[in-house]
Amino acid sequence: MFQDKKVVFSGVQPSGSLTLGNYLGAIKNFSAFSDEYRCYYCVVDMHAITVRQNPAELRRRTYDTLALYMACGLDPERNVLFVQSHVPAHAELAWILDCYTMFGELSRMTQFKDKSAKNADNINAGLFTYPSLMAADILLYQTELVPVGVDQKQHLELSRDIANRFNGVYGDVFVVPEPYIPTTSAKIMSLAEPSKKMSKSDPNENAVIRILDDRDTIVRKFKRAVTDSGCEVRRGEGKEGIENLMSIYGAVTGKSFDEIEREFDGRGYGDFKLAVGEAVADSLEGVRREFARLSADKKYLEEIMAKGASEAARAAARTLGKVKKKVGFTDIRY
């Protein structure tokens, strides 16, 4: 079924409750690749431990993230859904790639600087070499296309550099991946600080819409969203808050900015915030129902984990075997 298909890879960390930004900017769009590509979608739990995690919470969120993948439309029969730590080849290739990644490259990574500032008491080696593991995630599957947000593009560029460097020494071992940044995908900003991206780690709960928030919570958060001192629902300088709400409303209704401006011409922010909240709640209702059904069946989720890990491991072994031979490692059967 998957012969001759190009490969898409992406992953989501189980390090917090996923947000509307994760849904609209990434997961909602993943299923669109299933017809034309061989798709690997991973719960990247190994990446999550660069920051200290509560073990029980990390395990629970790993199950939840897999359930959310499926609740958001990813069919496990048409996509390979798996947990990163279930495929040891990720860690093994990451070490090899560490040896082909320059210190200066890693030290320039914006995410390392940001997380170091936030976790000054835990600036660990894993946090520093995180991009090499990300490169291993992608290159293991001979990935052609990686759906990424603008904030992750720097890491993908490093993955491309590592692949090209390795290929330059040993020949065409890795496919060099291309980024896929959909121009129509909404970039969802914080409801409290519209100049910042909506983040699942934001301590201000009113700034974040979580996929699993109930209807009343979603509507309440939108009612409290920061806008400006005006009253017109339209784009313009100094109207970052209202423009963010317009982006969200457009993403869930399919309406353009011009259509939104006409729809709310002469109506105030109160009406608009309520409409955005209700539209978002409506769009997530089916996801929440399906998540509740899936998350109640732990045995089924573990079956999907095992099936996905088996399929991913077979593909990863082909690449890892080639890499180990190229660098000069010996091989035995035992």
Sheet of 145-147: strands edge to edge?
80-83, 37-43, 6-12, 145-147, 178-180
pLDDT above 70 covers a percentage of the chain that reads 95
pLDDT tens string 290-300: 999 999 999 99
Mean pLDDT of 34-52: 93
Q: Which residues contact 40 (CB under 8 A, 6 or more apart)?
A: 7, 8, 9, 10, 79, 80, 82, 141, 143, 312, 315
DSSP per-residue letters across 138-189: HHTTT-SEEE--GGGHHHHHHHHHHHHHHHHHHSS-S---EEE--TTS--PB
Q: What's the confidence (pLDDT) of residue 90?
A: 98
Q: Using CB atoms within 10 Å of the CB of residue 129, give its burial: 0 to 12 exposed, 13 to 18 middle, 19+ buried.
A: buried
pLDDT tens string 59-75: 999 999 999 999 999 99
Q: What's the confidence (pLDDT) of residue 308?
A: 98
Q: What is the pTM of this model?
A: 0.88
Mean pLDDT of 257-262: 94
pLDDT tens string 213-239: 999 999 999 999 999 888 889 888 889
- According to CATH, the topology of domain 6-180+298-327 is Rossmann fold (3.40.50)
Q: What's the confidence (pLDDT) of residue 150?
A: 63
**Domain coordinates in residue numbering, the chain:** 6-180+298-327, 205-292
CA distance 253 to 79: 27
Catalytic residues: 115, 197, 200
User: Beta partners for 189?
Assistant: 197
Q: What's the confidence (pLDDT) of residue 183?
A: 60
DSSP annotation of 197 reads B
Q: Using CB atoms within 10 Å of the CB of residue 70, give its burial: 0 to 12 exposed, 13 to 18 middle, 19+ buried.
A: buried
DSSP per-residue letters across 96-127: HHHTTS-HHHHHT-HHHHHHHHHTTT---HHH
Q: What's the confidence (pLDDT) of residue 151?
A: 64
Residue (of 323, 301, 304, 300) closest to 312 by Cα position: 304
CA distance 101 to 204: 37
The letter for the amino acid at 191 is L
CATH 3.30.1380.10 correct for 205-292: no
Tokens at 101, concatenated: 């990644």
Q: Which residues of 229-241 are buried (b: 16+ CB within 10 A; e: fewer)?
A: eeebbbeeeebbb
User: Would you say residue 28 has pLDDT above 90?
Assistant: no
Of the CA atoms within 13 Å of residue 234, those in its CB half-sphere come to 10
Q: What's the confidence (pLDDT) of residue 1?
A: 41
Q: Which residues contact 274 (CB under 8 A, 6 or more apart)?
A: 219, 222, 223
Handedness of CA 224, 228, 232, 233 (dihedral sign): negative
User: Would you say residue 22 has pLDDT above 90?
Assistant: no
CA distance 227 to 238: 9
